Amino acid sequence: MTFFDNPVIPGFSPDPSICRAGEDYYVATSSFEYVPGVPLWHSRDLVHWRLIGHALDRPGQLELTDEVPASAGVFAPTLRYHDGRFWMITTVVGETGTFLVTARDPAGPWSDPVPVGVPGIDPDLAWDEDGTCWCLYSHGGIRAVRIDPHTGKLLGEPVAVWSGTGLQYPEGPHLYRFGGWWYLLLSEGGTERGHALSVARARTLPGPFEPHPANPVLSHRSTDHPIQNTGHGDMVQAHDGTWWMVLLGTRPRGDTPLYHGLGRETFLAPVRWEDEWPVPGPLELRAQAPALTPHPWPAEPARDDFDAGTLAPCWVQLRRPDPEAVRLDERPGHLVLHARGDSLDRPGATFVGRRQRDPDCSARTLADVSEGGRGGLVARLDEAHHYQVETGGGTVRAVARIGPLSSVVAEHPVPAGPVTLRIDVTTTGVLPPTITSRTGPDEAVPAGLRAGGPDTLRLGYETPDGDFRVLAELDGRYLTTEVAGGFTGRVLGMYATGGSAAFDWFELRPA
């Protein structure tokens, strides 16, 4: 008997949708304001996943404006394999609405977008026996309509179908045909702690659907289970005949109400059939692996020396790529960023980052900032919640932006030239709920305060002999959804907010 560790895709990877082509499995996840859009993951055993690219990776497919706020943009995709082609349908909230793209190879290239004239979010695709394509979506409940997937044209009027048990926000519908039944899986209860998965079935479309008598079929709400916010699932039948589900969840930590900084992650759970009903679970951090031949991929490199001509798929930017501001050809072996905005507190800043995938980790980079310039390393949740360590003008500064407040927490002079900036994230020895500057001897913890956040972020720089000089230790709760709101997770990376900054290398390693 073999086991695996959940989540199978750690870090900010919500709303997973899965499909199978032969013995290969593919997952698409939401990307919101980050580009390229819709990460695509590949597996051959449902446990080990590698990032192979993005479905929306060029202007003309996706180019968000600065008016798109954090946690808007590209919402929940559905990924399907039908008639020898991959289909991905999604909604760009606040911009172009719902559209679909297709590809022969999920690694790309993907087609230009085909608009689909439905409102709402969370579109789904399913084909019946005669080849008719159905699109389901969430808009004041779950609705369904026949479409021509090649043109996006609606082939009838949308009809209301089953919308759950009455909990708030019925969403994320997925429709399956199996064993003489149509099964409709959806999420309800909101994507926070009340999240739940429910299922109904019908003999024909568009129904009527009968609900499972014990809905919700999976939820960890009102429990002390280490995986919370469980929902937005999608099922697949493996090539050995077994059934599995990918779904989102979180790993909250700290004091009540518990906090998660990595965002909603992708988990794997078995699905069993009882009385012709799919029943997912149990969902555990350590679980029995599918009986498929294990197929681990080479580990994603922790360090990037920027020697390639293009950025690796793990790198993301904000809202729209800017090839003039993000350069790999300007200084050999360096990533050069040119400031297009003077602050990370507003849209428009030049930023390149990677998702935080491990609760305990260390991010480091060697930064060389132009005269009069400013840039550095940041742990980002959104424009109003981020911690920075930056260099410029002969000084290294630790900066905290928490809601409406922004402050230089600590600073220290450094010699001219490149400097290694560093952010460590640790879940041990977390701080009480205060910002504690470590520019001098450790300060005493004020009486009556206790540690409550999920982790501590230590910001600073390394001296030439390799010592880590910590400028500030900051409470991680302020970079969590429970404090900041929204749908994303932390992204760690480099930025320039004045002049230009050249980065010789970047590494993100688990502690």
**DSSP letter, residue 219:** -
Which CATH number applies to 303-510: 1.10.10.10, 3.40.190.10, 3.40.50.150, 2.60.120.200?
2.60.120.200
Which CATH number applies to 14-221+229-240: 3.40.50.300, 1.10.1060.10, 2.115.10.20, 3.40.50.720?
2.115.10.20
Compute the C-alpha angle 351/30/232, nearest 5°: 150
Contact 44, 292 (CB under 8 A): yes
**DSSP letter, residue 164:** -
Residues 326, 359: Cα–Cα separation, whole Å: 28
- 281-306: per-residue pLDDT in tens? 999 999 999 999 999 999 999 999 99
251, pLDDT greater than 90: yes
Residues 95, 74: Cα–Cα separation, whole Å: 9
Looking at the DSSP bridge assignments, the partners of residue 181 are 178
Contact 278, 243 (CB under 8 A): yes
Q: What's residue 436's pLDDT?
A: 45
Q: How far is CA 19 from the centre of its chain?
A: 19
Q: What are the start and end residues of each CATH 2.60.120.200 domain in the chain?
A: 303-510
145, pLDDT greater than 70: yes
Q: What are the start and end residues of each CATH 2.115.10.20 domain in the chain?
A: 14-221+229-240
- 78-108: per-residue pLDDT in tens? 999 999 999 999 999 988 899 999 999 999 9
Classified as helix, coil or strand, 481 is helix
> Catalytic residue positions?
15, 171
Confidence class of residue 439 from pLDDT cuts 50, 70 and 90?
Answer: very low
Phi, psi of 478, rounded to the nearest 5 degrees: -75, -10
Closest Cα partner for 495 from 344, 277, 364, 322?
344
